[in-house]
Structure 1
Amino acid sequence: MTSSSDEKILLAQVGAAHGIKGEVRVKPFGDDPLSFADYGKLETLDGSRKFKVKRARVQKTVVVTKFEGVNTRNEAEALNGVKLYIPRERLPQIEEADEFYHYDLLGLKAVDAQGEVLGTVVALPNFGAGDLIEIAPKSGAALLLPFTKEVVPEIDLEAGQVTVILPLGFLEDGEREPDADI
């Protein structure tokens, strides 16, 4: 898979202002909550605004961050909701064969063990209990499966596909729960 120079990776999103000196709460989207500050200036998707992290500290589930040039609560409040990106080429190269960035899986074809197309990878959410893989089929509801070696045993970035082994009975209609009497 080739990377174009204008691809951007979402690293974090600015939340509410914190205090009166221009700090904001930032929600990071990486394994290391402070890693968004390691890639140089962050920018908006269109590149029209750039932000340099002056300092950042973890506080509960957010990172309290001070950006250069943001010095008042009003300036900080104006950033609420801003998504922070970096160009794809700033991410380190992956050297291990079985490692990848989630971003690189988006848009790949999902096939079963026989090579039949199940759909397209559209998301890799994590709601707190582990990574999931969301596959959009050509018709019907999206498939949401555990993103484990058992369910996704092969990722072939060169071929542009992932192999998915559906859990036994996953696509079968099961017995419905009786309607609860209220």
Structure 2
Amino acid sequence: MSRPSGGRETRVCVAQIGAAHGLRGGVHLRSFTEQPDAFAQYGPLETEDGSRRFEIDSVKPSRDGFTVRFVGVTRREQAEALRDLTLYVDRDRLPETEDGEFYHADLIGLAAVTPQGDALGEVVALHNFGAGDIVELKLTGNGDSILLAFNEATVPEIDIVGGRIVVVMPEEIIVQDPAPKTGEGSGQ
């Protein structure tokens, strides 16, 4: 995805389609917006690559999210083909954030640095598997990815305008050099 100036993604994931519901093209939908039903207020929803666009015909709350019907999706087979699609809206259709607030998409691509300013890597994703937010960093140097709790202890500073987050690496994941340096511990 392209990034406009200010370090913000141009599109934001707001929902994911689940299983088909009924025979007339309904789908279960899981919302990722702070106000769960807000996804319906942002206009047409698009697939991640922007190749498909969906206008909402109706929305009803359900046990695990919402039951949604899209304009033009009228049969169960059509609804089944949509399963697991993530749906996006243009960033400029979302409400502006207050000072100190941000959308997760605003963090993607920011530099991750230590409290001393040393480069750690880049934010490549934010995840939530049910136990809280997790930030994924692609590490500088070896390019490996690492997952860290996205909380105030691990990420004490977020500077969207400056294009960086400060990360305090937990001690248990810092890799120590197990090999003694030359001349150390060799009895020489």
Tell me, yes or no, whether TM beats 0.5: yes
1:88 to 88, 91, 112: 91
Letter in 2 for 1:65: V
Structure 1 residue runs of 4+, over 6 Å off? Answer: 3-6
TM-score by length of 2: 0.80
Which residue number in structure 2 is paired with residue 103 of structure 1?
A: 105
User: What are the superposed Cα offsets for residues 70-100 of structure 1, whole Å, 9 maximum, x if unpaired?
Assistant: 222233223233332111111111122x211
Percent identity over the alignment is: 44
Give the Cα–Cα distance (whole angstroms) in 1 for the partners of residues 158 and 89 of structure 2.
Answer: 25
Task: Give the aligned residue type for 2:150.
Answer: F
Q: Quick check: which has more Rg, 1 or 2?
A: 2
Mark the runs of 5 or more structure 2 residues left unpaired by the alignment: 177-188
Does structure 2 retain, via aligned residues, the 8 Å contact 1:39–1:91?
A: yes
SS of equivalent residue, structure 1 residue 17: strand
Asked whether the 8 Å contact 2:9–2:106 carries over to 1, the reply is no
Alignment partners' CA distance in 2, 1:114 and 1:22:
54
1:108-164 Cα deviation digits (max 9, x unpaired): 110001110011111111111111111111216422221111211111112211011
**Kindly tell me: are residues 147 and 50 of structure 1, through their superposed partners in 2, closer, same or farther at Cα, counting changes over 3 Å?**
same
Tell me if 1:171 matches 2:174. yes
Relative distance call for 1:125 and 1:48 in structure 2 (3 A) is closer
How far 1:24 sits from its partner (Å)? 0.8
User: Which range is displaced more, 57-66 or 144-153?
Assistant: 57-66
Distance 2:7 2:137 in 1: 24
Secondary structure of 2:127's counterpart equals coil
1:60 matched residue in structure 2:
63
Is the alpha carbon distance of 1:37 and 1:22 closer, same or farther for their aligned partners in structure 2, counting shifts above 3 Å?
same
Give unmatched runs, 5+ long, in structure 1.
Answer: 174-182
The alignment of Structure 1 onto Structure 2 pairs a total of residues equal to 173
Equivalent residue letter for 1:95: E
Cα deviation 1:27-83 (Å, max 9, x = unaligned) = 222333322111011123444432221222232324211112222223322323333
SS in 2 for 1:125: strand
Pairwise CA RMSD of aligned residues? 2.5
Cα shift readout 1:4-35 (whole Å, capped 9, x = no counterpart): 99922222222221111221112222333322
